[in-house]
Amino acid sequence: MRGLVATVLAAALTLSSYGCGDLSRGELSRGVEALSGLAAQGGLIANGVARDATKSTYARAMAKTLGGEAEHEAEKLADAEPSPEVVDERNVAVQIASEIAELLSELQTFPGDEHHGLLVQRHLREAKEQADALTVRLTGEEA
């Protein structure tokens, strides 16, 4: 039942977000902005781990949830058919999404390790910067 509901929701989301055809520049841009937000939120969680200012169960559960969202975003972007002019940008976006998912997975594995927390925080900041730069490339506006 859980799988069925999740599949139906995922299909509905994909269709409503990207339509049945091309992934437009605007849609891709919104997806990349969402990735930037996920990286920022992950960075806040990682900051708590790095400062030993959080509870490991909280950091683990949040990293798992956010990592799942990033992975889902990567899959959505990878499955979508991009408009010809944004193929390269779509590929970069998939790469960023996968990287965010991996970093959050690492945080999920080491939620009580300050050193890992610091590294993940740093890399998530870089991922956010990449996502913001990609948004600027797509929209021509500052993120």
Partner 1 sequence: MKSILKIALGIIAALGGFLDIGDLVFNTQAGALYRYDLLWAVVLGTIGIAVYAEMCGRVAAVTGRPVFDTIRMRLGFGTGLAALIASTFVNLLTVAAELGGLAIVLELLFDAPFSMFVVAAAIVLVAVVAVLPFGGIERIFGYGGLMMLVVVVTIFHQSPDWGEVAQGFVPSLSGSTLYLYFVVGVFSAALMPYEVHFYSSGAIEEGWTESSLKENRLNAIVGYSLGGLLACALVIVSGYLFHPLGVEPNDLGTVALPAQGAFGETGLLLALGGIMFCVGGAAIDSSFSASYNVAQFLGWEWGRYRGPRKAPRFTFSWLIFLFLALLIVESGINPVEITEYAVVFSVVALPLTYLPILLIAGDRSFMGDHVNGRLANLLGWTYFGVIIVLAVAAVPLLLATNGGGG
List residues binding partner 1 (CB under 8 A): 1-3, 5-6, 13, 16-17, 30, 33-34, 36-37, 40-41, 44-45, 47-48, 51-55, 57-58, 60-62, 65-66, 69, 143
d(CA 140, CA 107): 33
Instruction: Compare residues 60 and 123 and give the one whose CB is closer to partner 1.
Output: 60
Closest by CA position to 73, among listed 119, 127, 125, 116: 127
Instruction: Compare residues 54 and 90 and give the one whose CB is closer to partner 1.
Output: 54
Instruction: Compare residues 16 and 21 and give the one whose CB is closer to partner 1.
Output: 16
Going from the C-alpha of 95 to that of each of 39, 73, 78, 127, the distances in angstroms are 13, 11, 9, 10
Query: What contacts 53, CB < 8 A, 6 or more positions away?
Result: 47
- Least separation in angstroms between CB 84 and partner 1: 25
Query: What contacts 98, CB < 8 A, 6 or more positions away?
Result: 70, 71, 74
- Least separation in angstroms between CB 5 and partner 1: 5
- Least separation in angstroms between CB 115 and partner 1: 18
